[in-house]
Amino acid sequence: MPIQTTANDVVFCGHGTYMGGGQTFNLPNGVELWITQPVGSAMTDGPVTALVAQRPIDRLIVRQPGRGGAVDDLAALQLPTIYRGPNPAPNLVLHDLGDLRNMITAALPLGPHHVITVARDTTLQDLLARDDVRPLIALHAAMHTHLRVFWAACSAASDDPNDPPSIYHNAKAVFFALSNHATQTRTDAAINAAQAAHAHATANPEDTAGTVAAAVAHDPAAANILQAI
């Protein structure tokens, strides 16, 4: 089932990091934390704005610069990861929007939402203790349900000198997966399929089905390039 936020969910959005070293904390009862990417990776603008704007995410990949642009299908890896209180979760750090401000402002839903940003570095543990979040958690805990909380930010180490693995979604995920396939197989069909996917994904970054269809016209194998979330 596609990942799609709603007006009832909390979305923590901005630049983000995780310093590692086993820095975890126990989530409060009533919290269901969704981290769509492997911890230690960067989240590109596409999935960030999809989470903020309440648009569906149906494909996710992690692209590995250190492996020559190799692609891993997150659905095949049984990601995203969902943490539920009172179990432990990584104590990620959210930073100011900075250069993301205009993009995120434009993506905000017109109706009700709980998209939360910060002006100073704030740990996930402290974000969940905010006055505008704590009552929502308490309400769900009292009903024995869970408040869905989404991390719409990177989770890479800030002192890593290398480019971290990066997360792409929907049409761009399909294109990068097909591009990687074309690099490996070097067949005309795969190359043409990747080129068609690139053209469609550039014009329609949310249109997974259209991107796949454009590729399948050149290579039927493109239909099964990624698993649906």
Q: What is the mean pLDDT of the chain?
A: 92
Q: Is residue 5 part of a domain?
A: no
Q: What separation in angstroms does the CA of 86 have from each of 26, 71, 146?
A: 5, 33, 11
Give the residue from 148, 166, 184 where a domain finishes.
166
For residues 93 and 200, membership in a common domain is answered with no
**Domain boundaries, position 74:** 10-166
143, 166, 189 - which closes a domain: 166
Of 166, 197, 212, the position where a domain reaches its end is 166
Same domain, 64 and 136: yes
Residue 75's pLDDT is 87
pLDDT, residue 139, reads: 93
pLDDT in tens, 207-218: 999 999 999 999
User: What pLDDT sits at residue 213?
Assistant: 97
Residue 119 has pLDDT above 90, yes or no: yes
How many domains does the chain contain in total? 2
**Angle, nearest 10°, between helix axes 45-53 and 170-185?**
150
pLDDT at 201: 97
pLDDT tens digits, one per residue of 12-40: 999 999 977 678 999 999 999 999 988 88
Q: Provide the pLDDT for residue 70.
A: 86
Query: Is residue 88 located within the same domain as residue 37?
Result: yes
- d(Cα 27, Cα 124) in Å, to the nearest integer? 9
Poorest-confidence range of 47-56, 61-70, 185-194?
A: 61-70
* Exposure letters 123-150 (e unless 16+ CB within 10 A, then b): ebbebbebeebeebbeebbeeeebbbbb
Write down the pTM of the prediction. Answer: 0.92
Query: Does pLDDT of 158 surpass 70?
Result: no
127 and 39 fall within a common domain: yes
pLDDT tens digits, one per residue of 69-111: 789 999 888 888 999 999 999 999 999 999 999 999 999 988 8
